[in-house]
C-alpha cells in the first residue's frame, strides 16, 4: 500500500505526543516533531524513492534513528516503536489532543491527576468542575474544554488543504495513467482552495471502454468501496478521506465542473440566472427545453447565463456574481507574481537551514529577495535572538549579500508583541533592520478590547512594518484570538504598515474575508511562507490560493513588487 509523507509525519507526531505525555526528554520529543515537519514538507514521496532503491535523501533533523523508522514505515506502514508506546498508555488518550487548547502537557496532567483517558471522561471531569481545580487550568480553561469536546463530537472530520493535496495528487496521477482517460480534475472545496477539505470530488472524461472505474476501486489506498457503477463510485481511503469519482461526457464536462466545484450557494445563483433566461442549468449542461446549448466548458456555462468566467476560488456567493455582471471581477494574483518572501527562519533560531541555503532555495523558487526574520528573545522555546545575536546576524547577511547573485537577503526580525503592546527588542536595534514583523505568541486569551489595543499599540511603534499571522489561529488546534480585525486593518491603513497572509498550511492566516476587508481599506497584504526550511517555500501556493479566495490582485500584494519598489515602502514604516 502506498505510504505518503503525510502518513510518516502523522506517525512521528503521534510518537512525539505520546512521549511528551509520558514526560520523556524534551529534546527527544522535539526531534520527532522536527522530523514530522521535515518529512511532511518534503516535495517527493520518500516511500516511492525507497521502493525504487534510492537512498534516503539527507534531510535536516533526520538522523540514523529517524531514518530507520522512515524505512520501516515505508516498508510496512507501521512503526514498532509507536505500537510499543500505545501499549504503555491508554489507547484513546491521543484523542484528547484534538480538543483546542489541550496540548500534551495538559493531557499529561489530566491523565496523571484525574485519570482522564477518553473524551467521555474529559467531558465528565469538565462537567463536574474537577478540571478547574488543577494548577494552570482554571474556570475559563474548563469551560473552553467543555465547549471543545461538544464541538469535536458534532464536527465532521476535515483534512488540511496541504494534507488533502498529497492524497488527491497521487490519486489523480494514478487515474491519468488508466487507458482511455483524457481529463482528470479535482473539484469541490479542494478546487476552491478552502483551508480544509471534507471530501474529494474527482471528475474524469474517458473513452467508453476505459477501465477507470475498476482501477479507481482497486487503488492501493482504498480501504472501503462504498458504492460503484459504470460512471460513478465512492471510496474511503485508508487515511479516512472520502473520494467520489464521476465519469462525465466531454459535452457535459464544463457543466459538471461548475456543478461539483460549487459552492452550493454559488450554484443556486447560477441556476436562478439560467431560469431568468428560460434555461435549465444542471451537471449535464445548460438546456433550452430539451436542447443542450452549453456545457462542454465552464466558460460556455457562464456565458449562457450572461457572465464571464468566474475563478473557482471566488465561487462562495460573496458578491462574485454581481461583480461579474458589472464587469468588475478582480484579476486574481498568481504564484508567478510573487517577487520575494518577507518571513523566514534559519538555524539561528528554530529553522533547519543556513541563511545561504534558504536564500538559494528561494532563488530556485523564482524569488529575487528573501527576508530573514528570526524570532526575538521572548520566544525562548525557539531560541529567539537577543540584541547581540541579532546584530551579528545582520553583519552575516551583509557579508552574504556581497557574494550572492540573483537573490538579495533582507534583514528583519519577527519580534514578539508583549502584553502591553511593546516590542521585545530595543529601538536602537530595530531601527537598523530592513523590516520588523510583529507577532502575538502569548496571552491568546485576552479579552477582545485588550487584545485589540495591544496590537494597535504595537503597530504605532515607529519601527513596525508587518503584522504576522494576524488572527493567531492554528487550524484544528487553536481558535483565532478574539480581536476587532476591522479596527486593526483600518489602523494599519492609517499607520501605513502591512498585514501578513501566512501561507503555512496550519495557519493560512489572514482569513479570506479579512483579505477582502484589507483590499477594501487599501491595506497591502504580504503573502509569506514563514519558512523554517528550504522545503517550506512550496507552501506559497497555498497562500496564493487563500489570497485569491480573498479577491486579492497583484497590486494588493506587497511582495509582488520588485526590490526597487519594495524598499521605499519598507522604509516608510521604519521611519
Sign of CA dihedral 233, 505, 480, 191: negative
The proportion of the chain whose per-residue pLDDT surpasses 90, expressed as a percent, equals 71
Mean pLDDT of the chain: 92
Of the candidates 339, 509, 353, which has an alpha carbon nearest to the alpha carbon of residue 439? 509
Whether the per-residue pLDDT at 536 is higher than 80: the answer is yes
Of the candidates 445, 424, 417, 464, which has an alpha carbon nearest to the alpha carbon of residue 570? 464
Q: Which three cell numbers stand for residue 251?
A: 459535452
The four Cα atoms 161, 166, 170, 172 give a dihedral, to 10 degrees, of 10
> Would you list the domain boundaries of the chain?
5-154, 159-247, 252-325, 335-573
251-280 mean pLDDT: 95
- CATH fold of the domain at 335-573: TIM Barrel (3.20.20)
DSSP state of 92: T
Q: Specify the 3-state DSSP secondary structure of 5.
A: helix
The fourth-level CATH superfamily of domain 5-154 is DNA polymerase beta, N-terminal domain-like (1.10.150.110)
| pTM (two decimals) | 0.81
pLDDT at 1: 59
The strand pair at 181-186 and 291-294 is best described as unpaired
In angstroms, the CA 386 to CA 425 distance is 7
The fourth-level CATH superfamily of domain 252-325 is DNA polymerase, thumb domain (3.30.210.10)
Instruction: Give alpha helix (H) positions in 463-562.
Output: 485-495, 512-521, 540-549
Q: Which three cell numbers stand for residue 503?
A: 501561507
Instruction: Give alpha helix (H) positions in 354-477.
Output: 355-364, 387-401, 427-430, 448-459
The proportion of the chain whose per-residue pLDDT surpasses 70, expressed as a percent, equals 98
Q: Which three cell numbers stand for residue 175?
A: 487515474
The strand ranges marked E within 207-295 are 222-227, 232-237, 242-247, 280-282, 285-288, 291-294
Max avg pLDDT among 52-66, 84-98, 219-233, 304-318: 304-318
Residues 134, 109: contact at Cβ < 8 Å? Answer: yes
Max avg pLDDT among 116-120, 531-535, 540-544: 540-544
Whether the per-residue pLDDT at 206 is higher than 90: the answer is yes
Which residues, 6+ apart, have CB-to-CB distance to 483 below 8 Å?
Answer: 448, 451, 452, 455, 470, 471
Q: Specify the 3-state DSSP secondary structure of 194.
A: coil
Phi and psi, residue 464, nearest 5°? -110, 125
133-145 mean pLDDT: 87
In angstroms, the CA 531 to CA 528 distance is 8
DSSP state of 97: G
Per-residue pLDDT band at 499 (split at 50, 70, 90):
very high
265-282 mean pLDDT: 94
Sign of CA dihedral 391, 395, 396, 398: positive
Interaxial angle between packed helices 253-261 and 264-276, expressed in degrees from 0 to 180 and rounded to the nearest 10: 130
Domain 159-247 has CATH 3.40.50.300: no
In angstroms, the CA 268 to CA 188 distance is 15
CB atoms within 10 A of CB 466: 29
Residues forming beta bridges with residue 227, ordered by sequence position = 234
Amino acid at each position: 500500500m502506498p505510504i505518503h509523507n503525510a502518513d510518516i509525519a502523522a506517525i512521528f507526531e503521534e510518537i512525539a505526543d505520546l512521549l511528551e505525555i509520558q514526560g520523556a526528554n524534551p529534546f527527544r520529543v522535539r526531534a520527532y516533531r522536527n522530523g514530522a515537519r521535515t518529512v511532511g514538507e518534503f516535495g517527493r514521496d520518500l516511500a516511492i524513492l525507497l521502493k525504487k532503491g534510492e537512498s534516503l535523501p539527507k534531510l535536516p533533523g533526520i538522523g540514523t534513528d529517524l531514518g530507520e523508522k522512515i524505512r520501516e514505515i515505508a516498508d510496512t506502514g507501521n512503526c514498532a516503536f509507536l505500537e510499543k508506546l500505545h501499549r504503555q498508555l491508554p489507547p484513546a488518550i491521543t484523542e484528547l489532543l484534538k480538543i483546542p487548547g489541550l496540548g500534551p502537557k495538559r493531557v499529561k496532567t489530566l491523565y496523571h491527576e484525574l485519570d482522564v483517558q477518553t473524551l467521555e471522561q474529559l467531558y465528565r471531569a469538565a462537567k463536574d468542575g474537577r478540571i478547574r481545580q488543577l494548577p494552570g487550568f482554571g474556570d475559563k480553561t474548563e469551560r473552553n474544554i467543555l465547549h471543545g469536546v461538544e464541538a469535536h463530537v458534532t464536527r465532521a472530520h476535515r483534512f488540511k488543504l496541504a494534507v488533502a493535496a498529497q492524497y488527491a495528487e497521487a490519486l489523480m496521477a494514478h487515474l491519468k495513467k488508466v487507458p482511455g482517460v483524457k481529463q482528470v480534475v479535482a473539484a469541490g472545496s479542494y478546487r476552491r482552495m478552502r483551508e480544509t477539505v471534507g471530501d474529494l470530488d474527482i471528475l474524469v472524461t474517458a473513452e467508453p471502454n476505459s477501465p477507470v472505474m475498476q482501477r479507481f476501486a482497486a487503488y492501493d489506498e482504498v480501504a472501503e468501496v462504498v458504492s460503484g457503477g459504470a460512471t460513478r463510485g465512492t471510496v474511503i481511503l485508508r487515511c479516512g478521506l472520502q473520494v467520489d469519482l464521476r465519469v462525465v461526457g466531454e459535452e457535459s464536462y464544463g457543466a459538471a465542473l461548475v456543478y461539483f466545484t460549487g459552492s452550493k450557494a454559488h450554484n443556486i445563483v447560477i441556476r436562478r440566472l439560467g431560469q431568468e433566461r428560460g434555461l435549465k442549468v444542471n451537471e449535464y449542461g445548460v438546456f433550452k427545453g430539451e436542447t443542450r446549448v452549453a456545457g462542454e466548458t465552464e466558460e460556455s456555462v457562464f456565458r449562457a447565463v450572461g457572465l464571464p468566467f468566474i475563478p473557482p476560488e471566488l465561487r462562495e456567493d460573496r458578491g462574485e456574481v454581481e461583480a461579474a455582471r458589472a464587469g468588475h471581477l478582480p484579476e486574481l494574483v498568481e504564484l508567478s507574481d510573487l517577487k520575494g518572501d518577507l518571513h523566514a527562519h534559519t538555524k539561528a533560531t528554530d529553522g533547519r537551514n543556513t541563511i545561504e541555503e534558504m536564500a538559494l532555495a528561494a532563488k530556485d523558487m523564482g524569488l529575487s529577495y528573501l527576508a530573514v526574520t528570526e524570532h526575538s528573545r521572548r520566544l525562548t522555546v525557539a531560541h529567539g535572538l537577543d540584541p547581540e545575536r541579532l546584530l551579528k546576524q545582520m553583519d552575516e547577511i551583509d557579508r552574504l549579500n556581497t557574494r550572492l547573485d540573483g537573490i538579495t537577503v533582507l534583514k528583519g526580525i519577527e519580534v514578539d508583541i508583549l502584553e502591553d503592546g511593546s516590542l521585545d527588542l530595543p529601538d536602537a536595534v530595530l531601527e537598523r533592520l530592513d523590516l520588523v514583523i510583529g507577532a502575538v505568541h502569548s496571552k491568546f486569551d485576552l479579552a477582545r478590547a485588550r487584545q485589540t489595543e495591544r496590537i494597535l499599540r504595537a503597530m504605532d511603534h515607529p519601527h513596525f512594518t508587518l503584522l504576522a499571522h494576524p488572527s493567531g489561529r492554528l487550524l484544528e488546534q487553536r481558535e483565532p484570538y478574539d480581536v476587532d480585525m476591522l479596527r486593526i486593518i483600518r489602523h494599519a491603513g492609517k499607520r501605513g504598515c502591512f498585514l501578513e497572509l501566512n501561507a503555512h498550511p496550519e495557519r493560512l492566516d489572514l482569513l479570506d474575508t479579512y483579505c477582502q476587508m484589507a483590499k477594501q481599506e487599501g491595506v497591502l497584504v504580504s503573502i509569506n511562507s514563514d519558512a523554517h526550511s528550504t522545503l517550506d517555500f512550496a507552501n506559497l501556493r497555498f497562500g496564493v490560493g487563500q489570497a485569491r479566495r480573498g479577491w486579492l490582485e497583484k497590486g494588493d500584494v506587497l511582495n509582488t513588487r520588485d526590490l526597487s519598489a519594495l524598499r521605499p515602502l519598507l522604509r516608510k514604516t521604519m521611519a
